[in-house]
Amino acid sequence: MHPISVSGQPPSGALVHISFYKFVRLDDPDAVVLQLRALTHALLGSILVAEEGINGVLAGSAAAVDAFEQALGIDARFTGIDFKRSPCSTPPFGRMKVHRKTEIVFMGVDGVDALRQTGIAVSPQQWRELIAADDVVVIDNRNSFEYRLGKFNNAVDPQVANFRDFPKYIEANAPAWQAAGKRVAMYCTGGIRCEKTSAWMHDMGIEIYQLEGGILNYFRTMPDAEKDWQGECFVFDNRIALDTTLQETETTLDDVYDGEPDGEWRLQRARRLDQSGQ
């Protein structure tokens, strides 16, 4: 367990964590911010709102989480969202924030529209077969410290320190993959980074397969996920890391960032957020 400094009172009862996103055109993102603030009064976490959709991570009692999911689903724009749940021993967040942003995931490339066309979604069952194929390049669409903590079998580390650096890696290597007749498969934690990247790659004329729902969905769906996964999965909250059964591990931030070029900066930043209640 990882102690944190919590501002305010956390929801009563056992905590449940959910992560979710949806790319959907929002003509009134400021109004959606107000709507979500009203719906999350009994929860902790954060939600990003932009014209391209919403992206959130929340924690609370099972009853509070259920109520939020049901209330959000009343809005037709947000039906069909896949809420990925996992248990919590450590309170993941210290406060509740709903942010108005220009994008719900920052890629560093202008004009990427994940609402039009994205990659080929691959179910967890299909993913197991795909990543074992000889003609497939398996790309980890996360930061290098996340890859170092845990990865799928045969996955390649793009060695990027920030998601905004990822397009440069693709641009540098895609011609060689195409020349060799390789298919490209990509995964990330919850699916949103791959969704944005695959939309951009599609515009470049590159066919891309993406793991549906990301790593968390794979762990949730495949009872023997450890056959395909080595290590743990980093999560951007106070739980730090999860195993393939979605349980917290004993990994600390020091373990995660040790040896990273910007590790000390990330560690100090995480501690500041912890002390301020995030």
Amino acid identity of residue 222, one-letter, is M
Contacts of 213 (CB under 8 A, 6+ apart): 82, 84, 124, 190, 191, 220, 221
Segment holding 175, helix H or strand E: helix 166-179
- Taking each continuous run of H as one helix and of E as one strand, the counts in the chain are 9, 14
Report residue 173: phi and psi, to 5°. -110, -20
β-bridge pairing 136-140 and 183-187: parallel
β-bridge pairing 208-211 and 155-156: unpaired
For the question of residue 188 being annotated catalytic, the response is yes
Region for 106 from its dihedrals, namely left if φ exceeds 0, alpha if ψ lies in -120 to 50, beta otherwise:
beta
Q: How far apart are CA 188 and CA 40, in angstroms?
A: 26
Q: Which tokens sit at 61?
A: 């009692």
Q: How far apart are CA 236 and CA 170, in angstroms?
A: 24
Q: What residues are labeled active site?
A: 188
